[in-house]
């Protein structure tokens, strides 16, 4: 596990619902992680560039608009291209059950659906970061 | 269990402490004539009509839109056939953000969160077979409100319906976009100019239209307390009136058409107090701060939607119960129109079945419970009156702070309301995680339940939509279209004329929403939110 876990919290796509992203960013900070929040409406290219520049261990993507099956595959493809294979990718938001296996096949580590506690997400990150 | 209860601190969902019992002493300062009045009388605490729902039920207005205009048109006809009494259009995110469906930022978003509208051609299909003089329509659009309203007005022209007879609302509340919902395009100041243009245009040409629905709904959904929802929303209303006055508009020409939009969350009495305080505070604001002379300028009318953020993905049938209780609070609070959420909305847009059940919930409240038989049936409750007085007091305190900052635009630029809401959202989340606040099926009483059938929007919607928009661009009179956009651009640069008539000309020439927004973006720039 890295000494200080670095996380990028990102809002790809047009969705402006940032309550969840901001809560998890703050919970990560309270847990001692270093957090970079991208702000709203990032293209997949911007998300991956930020992950590279910030040298993060974890990317948390928040999507509530239903566009995750367009945005996440593109982000995973760009990450492979940039050889960011060791970065843990988490997706949170309104993600139907049926899309979870598809996202995991693309290389997403875990999907967090509505109602999850921030403690569980933090715990997941601590257990899984740096293991890939 | 009894021991647990004794040990607990009792608070509303917003964290406001609640006493063990409320007595006449709890409301000793209540002056009934001054603080309450009768229903239909100032300060309207007890409702804006003397007879309330005995005279007319609230409008049952379900927010709806998905896929293409044809699909949403079918859903509208279905809802109207089942007794819905007004329409409410949900646009997809690209439309709300001023992008056409074939823009690269629209990838994956077409038709997902609402209906795809790129040009007048789509709007014509959306209202096909729906006579605009017979219904009222609410459109949830903010940054591009001038454009979508223009499309609606152009459809009315094509149907031969006069603008004077049109009834409806555009949300057009850009301030709460910066505060909470975040679907902004331009920076705050030019956006406020567009809002003032719509106020003036409505008062002159579309007199029965509500040109702004000042909205607390999204502020609450972003995690605010009930008081913050109320205070920031009413202060947004103050800001619009201030800006319109500064632009030379007489308050009484537009204030009677301002309407409001509040959330109905789970804490039953706190919500009812919020609606009652809203009417009273607005009455005082309009009569004392703005010295309106038309009595209707001081009457707060509002729409309510049950709280989307209170719905759970776990055990989704529980949501039917939550929605019913929230809707009851809205009706006991005297709402003029109501949207009840469907049980599956924490997972997807509602299926036809779920949408009908949500509508039926309102019909049961209206026709079976008896609570419509008399106005403000809870008025005089010690507890409710105490909450109402406190809610009002809290508003004045927030207003003083916002006045000191130089108004809401200035406060937004300093990140003040945004931070207040984020802090409240975080405090609530922590309370849930410590089980101080229980969410049934999520942090207590957990059990497995079988999954629902969901409405899923596939990518063929985007293909069909993009094909139609490209055809519009090929078949329209492109030189006329270019000219209208150039005229709009010049006027926006000059900054001294009302842009509504010029946007209407663009729309009539089938300029797309993206093209019109691009024209304005080139002049106004775009807003990037600082990370607070």
A chain contacts of residue B439, beta-carbon cutoff 8 Å: 115
- HEC-encoded secondary structure of A4-73: CCEEEEECECCCCCCHHHHHHHHHHHHCCCEEEECCCCECHHHHHHHHHHHCCCEEEEEECCCCHHHHHH
Size of interface A-B (CB pairs under 8 A): 93
Report angle CA B495, B498, B502 to the nearest 5 degrees. 100
- Find the CB nearest B93 among A14, A23, A39: A14
Does the CB of A69 have a partner CB in chain B at under 8 Å?
yes
Which domains, and CATH codes, for chain B?
A: 2-64+171-433 (3.20.20.240), 88-132+145-161+451-532 (no CATH)
Pairing of strands A34-37, B209-210: unpaired
pLDDT at B9: 82
Nearest CA in chain A to B446: A115
pLDDT at A56: 97
Q: What are phi and psi of B89, to 5 degrees?
A: -90, 125
What is the rounded CA–CA span in Å between residue B10 and residue B8?
A: 6
B chain contacts of residue A17, beta-carbon cutoff 8 Å: 182
0.80 exceeded by pTM: yes
Residues of chain A with pLDDT under 70: 1, 132
Residue pair B85/B111 in contact (Cβ under 8 Å)? The answer is no
Does the CB of A100 have a partner CB in chain B at under 8 Å?
no
Query: What ipTM does this complex have?
Result: 0.94
Nearest CA in chain B to A44: B105
DSSP string of B367-394, one letter each residue: HHS-TTSSSSTTTT-HHHHHHHHHHHHH
Q: Does the A6-128 domain belong in CATH 3.90.190.20?
A: no
Q: What are phi and psi of B228, to 5 degrees?
A: -60, -40
Does the CB of A123 have a partner CB in chain B at under 8 Å?
no
- Find the CB nearest B312 among A13, A19, A114: A114
pLDDT in tens, A64-84: 999 999 999 999 999 999 999
Contact A23 B108 (CB under 8 A): no
pLDDT at B347: 87
What is the rounded CA–CA span in Å between residue B289 and residue B171?
A: 24
Residues of chain B with pLDDT under 70: 1-7, 532
Which of A13, A16, A41, A70 to mutate to probe the B interface, most B CBs <10 Å? A16
Kindly give the residue spans of alpha helices, DSSP state H, lying in B31-100.
69-81, 93-96
A chain contacts of residue B97, beta-carbon cutoff 8 Å: 14, 41
């Amino acid at each position: 596990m890295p000494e200080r876990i670095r996380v990028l919290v990102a809002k790809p796509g047009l969705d402006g619902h940032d309550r969840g992203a901001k809560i998890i960013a703050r919970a990560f900070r309270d847990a001692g992680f270093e957090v970079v929040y991208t702000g709203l409406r990032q293209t997949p290219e911007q998300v991956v560039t930020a992950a590279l520049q910030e040298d993060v261990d974890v990317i948390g993507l928040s999507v509530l608009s239903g566009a995750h099956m367009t945005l996440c595959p593109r982000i995973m493809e760009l990450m492979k291209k940039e050889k960011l294979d060791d970065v843990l990718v988490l997706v949170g938001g309104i993600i139907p059950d049926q899309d979870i296996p598809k996202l995991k096949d693309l290389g997403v580590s875990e999907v967090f659906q509505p109602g999850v506690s921030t403690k569980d997400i933090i715990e997941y990150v601590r257990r899984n970061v740096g293991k890939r | 269990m009894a021991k647990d209860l004794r040990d607990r601190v009792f608070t509303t969902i917003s964290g406001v402490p609640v006493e063990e019992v409320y007595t006449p002493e709890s409301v000793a300062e209540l002056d009934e004539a001054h603080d309450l009045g009768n229903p239909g009388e100032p300060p309207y605490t007890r409702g804006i009509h003397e007879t309330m729902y005995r005279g007319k039920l609230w409008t049952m207005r379900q927010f709806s839109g998905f896929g293409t205009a044809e699909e949403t048109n079918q859903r509208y006809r279905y809802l109207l056939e089942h007794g819905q009494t007004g329409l409410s259009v949900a646009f997809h995110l690209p439309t709300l953000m001023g992008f056409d469906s074939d823009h690269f930022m629209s990838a994956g978003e077409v038709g997902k969160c609402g209906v795809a509208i790129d040009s007048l051609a789509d709007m014509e299909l959306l209202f096909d077979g729906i006579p605009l003089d017979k219904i009222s329509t609410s459109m949830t659009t903010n940054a591009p409100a001038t454009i979508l309203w223009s499309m609606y007005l152009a459809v009315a022209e094509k149907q031969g319906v006069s603008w004077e007879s049109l009834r409806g609302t555009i949300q057009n509340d850009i301030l709460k976009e910066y505060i909470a919902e975040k679907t902004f395009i331009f920076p705050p100041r030019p956006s406020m100019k567009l809002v003032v243009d719509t106020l003036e245009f409505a008062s002159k040409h579309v007199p029965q239209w509500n040109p702004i629905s000042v909205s607390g709904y999204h502020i609450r959904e972003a995690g605010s307390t009930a008081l913050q929802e109320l205070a920031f929303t009413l202060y947004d209303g103050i800001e619009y009136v201030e800006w319109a006055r500064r632009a030379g508009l007489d308050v009484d020409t537009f204030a009677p058409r301002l309407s409001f939009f509040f959330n109905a969350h789970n804490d039953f009495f706190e919500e009812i107090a919020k609606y009652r305080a809203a009417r009273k505070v607005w009455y005082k604001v309009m009569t004392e701060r703005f010295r309106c002379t038309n009595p209707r300028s001081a009457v707060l009318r509002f729409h309510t939607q049950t709280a989307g953020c209170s719905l759970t993905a776990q055990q989704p049938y529980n949501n039917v119960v939550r929605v019913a209780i929230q809707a009851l609070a809205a009706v006991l609070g005297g709402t003029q129109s109501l949207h009840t959420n469907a049980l599956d909305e924490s997972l997807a847009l509602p299926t036809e079945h779920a949408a009908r059940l949500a509508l039926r919930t309102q019909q049961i409240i209206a026709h079976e419970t008896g609570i419509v038989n008399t106005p403000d049936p809870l008025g005089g409750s010690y507890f409710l009156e105490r909450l109402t007085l406190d809610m009002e007091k809290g508003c004045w305190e927030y207003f003083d702070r916002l006045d000191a900052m130089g108004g809401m635009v200035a406060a937004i630029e300093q990140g003040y309301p945004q931070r207040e809401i984020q802090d409240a959202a975080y405090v609530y989340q922590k309370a849930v995680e410590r089980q101080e606040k229980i969410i049934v099926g999520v942090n207590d009483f957990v059990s497995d339940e079988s999954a629902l059938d969901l409405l899923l929007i596939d990518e063929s919607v985007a293909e069909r939509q993009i094909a139609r928009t490209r055809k519009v661009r090929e078949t329209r009179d492109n030189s006329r279209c270019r000219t209208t956009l150039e005229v709009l651009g010049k006027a926006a640069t000059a900054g001294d004329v009302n842009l509504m008539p010029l946007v209407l000309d663009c729309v009539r020439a089938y300029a797309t929403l993206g093209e019109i927004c691009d024209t304005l973006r080139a002049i106004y720039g775009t807003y990037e939110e600082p990370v607070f």
